[in-house]
Amino acid sequence: MEKLRILLPKGRIFDNVFRLFLDAGFPLSVPERTYRPQTSADWLDIKIMKPQNVGELLELGSHDAGFTGIDWIRESQADVVEVMDLGFDHVRIVAAVPQELDDAALKQKCLVAATEYVKIAGDWLDREAYRYRILRTYGATEVFPPDDADMIIDNTSTGQTLKDNGLRIVADLMESTTRFVASRAAMADSEKRSRIEELAMLFRAVLDGRERVMLEMNLPKNGFEEIAASLPAMRSPTVSPLYGDRGYAVKIAVKKSEIPDLIPRLKKLGAADIVEYDLRKVVP
């Protein structure tokens, strides 16, 4: 079978994708000064590229699948298939101006908007009826105002960098997270589509595993049916009788967010010897 050609994103979102591959069972080795990670899966051909280029390269057909923010897919208008939203590296694309610049003044001038998002910025500025000129940037966009630009359109996670540079947000244009995307040609190929879907299944298992823990406990026989029926679980609790017919050993996979309320409630119901541990993968 032909290798599946995968693009990993260089820069900010690389670490989360790297860890996702590791937890899915594909540890990557990235030798210095190379853009070709190595893996034991001989059916994978992996290359590191800037996330800005991923969508267009998939559309051109030089690669089969990859990872990038949905912001860069929208910016490049790449015709790709979104396989799954990984949910991490959440950012907002915002318009920001110097603190001292009045909103009304923005409408009265032909402003300079500094941005890496030329298409997204232009569409929004047109909708808002600004007169503008876009100044294309290549990183560190927040340093342009007030000397070289009146406004920036950039991504932010917390907004703190903007504040530190004397900027205030005037509009939210969109939200973005990292997506696993594929070329239409690869998804039309049955073997490649199968491989891509297998990867997506493993990625979902890893992400679901990160949100859940396993609880093991011993429950008394008295009132067991009522207690067991009230336990949260993916389907139903796993139950085994204890030695000497002195109760039941129970296992449940639950969301981490449920734990602070659940463990005290279980203790009140008579649960003992409660053990909590992390999960690596959860495959429904």
Question: pLDDT by residue for the chain (284 residues), tens digit each?
Answer: 689 999 999 988 999 999 999 999 999 998 877 889 999 899 999 999 999 999 999 999 999 999 999 999 999 999 999 999 999 999 999 999 999 988 888 888 899 999 999 999 999 999 999 999 999 999 889 999 999 999 999 999 998 999 999 999 999 999 999 999 999 999 999 999 999 999 999 999 999 999 999 999 999 998 888 888 888 888 888 999 998 888 999 999 999 999 999 999 999 888 999 999 999 999 87
Instruction: Give yes or no: residues 120 and 18 share one domain.
Output: no
Instruction: Give yes or no: residues 17 and 51 share one domain.
Output: yes
How far the first Cα of the chain sits from its last, in Å, is: 29
Instruction: Give yes or no: residues 68 and 9 share one domain.
Output: yes
User: What's the domain count of the chain?
Assistant: 3
Instruction: Give yes or no: residues 60 and 183 share one domain.
Output: yes
> Whole domain around residue 131: which residue ranges?
91-176
pLDDT for 31: 82
The total of other beta-carbon atoms located within 10 Å of residue 283's CB is 10
Q: For residues 20 and 6, what is the distance between their CA atoms, to the nearest angstrom?
A: 14
270, 261, 255: which is closest to 215 by C-alpha? 255
Instruction: Give yes or no: residues 252 and 141 share one domain.
Output: no
Q: Which CATH number do you get for residue 241?
A: 3.30.70.120
E strands present in 19-150: 44-49, 65-69, 81-85, 91-98, 110-115, 131-136
Q: For residues 49 and 56, what is the distance between their CA atoms, to the nearest angstrom?
A: 11
Residue 203 lies in a domain: no
Instruction: Give yes or no: residues 132 and 255 share one domain.
Output: no
pLDDT for 1: 67
Q: Which CATH number do you get for residue 55?
A: 3.40.190.10
